Copies of this chain bind each other. A is one copy, B any other.
Amino acid sequence: MKNKGHIEEIKVVKIGGNIVDNPTALDAFLKDFHKLKGKKILVHGGGVMASKMTIDLGLETTMIKGRRVTDFETLKLVTMVYAGWINKNIVALLQKNGCNAIGLSGVDANVIPAVKRSPQPIDYGFVGDTTPNKVNTNFIINLLNDDIVPVFCAITHNEKGSLLNTNADTIAYTLAVALSAVAKTKLYYCFEKEGVLRNIDDPNSLIQSMTKSECDTFQKDDIIAGGMIPKLYNSFNAIEEGVSEVIVLHAQNLLSERGTKLIKENENS
C-alpha cells in the first residue's frame, strides 16, 4: 500500500492507565485531545482496570520489574480490557466530541507486528517486542490524510496467529520513531504528575528540560527513580532515532505543553 499524501507534523500522545480509569479525568483529557491541532495519534494504557479485573476473575498478577507477566489467561484479559472496553469507549467519547477516531491494535492491518520476547533470562509470557521499522506507516498516513484519528491500544501480534501484550509507552515510542521517517514527530507522555520533579511531593519542582546526560546525573543522585527511569530512557532513544521532541507532562497540561521537555544533548550546550 502506498500512502497518498504528505504530512508536515504528527503528534503522538500517550495516556496512562490512571487517567483511563478515571471517567472525569478521561473525559476532560479527550476534550483537550480533540482540540489539539494538526495530525495526531492517541495511545492508551489500561493496566489499572486490567489489574482490578484480574482480581475480580480470581487470576494472579505477577509483575517483574514493573512489567506484567502475561500467561494465556492474562493475555485474554488484557486483550478484552485494552482492545475491547477501553479502546472502544475512548473512540466513542472522541466521536461524541466530533473527533473521527478509529480504534486499532497492532494486529489490525498488521500495523505493528511484534516478536514474542525470548523466555531467557525472564519468561514474561505473551509479551511482544516491537521495532519501529516494521510499522506499517503508510496505513497510518492514509488514515491521517482522511482526517481519521488512530487510537491505539497496546496489543500486538507475532504474525503467526498469536496476540501479544506490549507496554503502551513502547507502542507510543515505536509509532513516534516509525512516523519520524515520514514527518516531524512529537511524542507526549501524559500522566498524573506535572512532569519530572526534583522533589516528587512538590509540583513546583518541575524540571523544564533535560538532556540524557542530565538524566544520568539525576538518576545517580536518586532524584529520578522507579517507573520513570525506563520512560525517560525510552524517550531519549526516541529522540536519538528521529523524534523531534518528547514531553513528559500532566494530562491536564496537554494543550499548554507545560511539562518536562526531553532534548538533544547539543540543544542545551
List the interface of chain A (C-beta within 8 A of B).
1, 56-57, 76, 79-85, 87-89, 91-93, 95-96, 100-105, 107-110, 139, 142, 146-148, 155, 157, 159-163
Task: Please tell me if the beta carbons of B79 and A85 are within 8 angstroms of each other in the complex.
Answer: yes
What residues on B are CB-neighbors of A139 within 8 Å? Answer: 146, 148
Whether A96 touches B160, Cβ cut-off 8 Å, given contacts A79-B88, A107-B103, is: yes
Task: Please tell me if the beta carbons of B157 and A95 are within 8 angstroms of each other in the complex.
Answer: yes
CA distance A110 to B148 in the complex (A): 10
Within the complex, the shortest CB–CB distance from A189 to chain B, in Å, comes to 25
Indicate which residue in B80, B101, B107, B148 contacts A92 across the interface (CB closer than 8 Å). B107
What residues on B are CB-neighbors of A83 within 8 Å? Answer: 83-85, 87-88, 103
Within the complex, the shortest CB–CB distance from A153 to chain B, in Å, comes to 9
What residues on B are CB-neighbors of A108 within 8 Å? Answer: 88, 91, 101-103
What residues on B are CB-neighbors of A101 within 8 Å? Answer: 108-109
Task: Please tell me if the beta carbons of B100 and A109 are within 8 angstroms of each other in the complex.
Answer: yes
Within the complex, the shortest CB–CB distance from A268 to chain B, in Å, comes to 42
Within the complex, the shortest CB–CB distance from A85 to chain B, in Å, comes to 5
Task: Please tell me if the beta carbons of A103 and B100 are within 8 angstroms of each other in the complex.
Answer: no
Indicate which residue in B82, B85, B95, B107 contacts A76 across the interface (CB closer than 8 Å). B85
**Residue of B at shortest CB range from A147?**
B1
What residues on B are CB-neighbors of A110 within 8 Å? Answer: 95, 100
Task: Please tell me if the beta carbons of A146 and B1 are within 8 angstroms of each other in the complex.
Answer: yes
What residues on B are CB-neighbors of A103 within 8 Å? Answer: 83, 105, 107-108
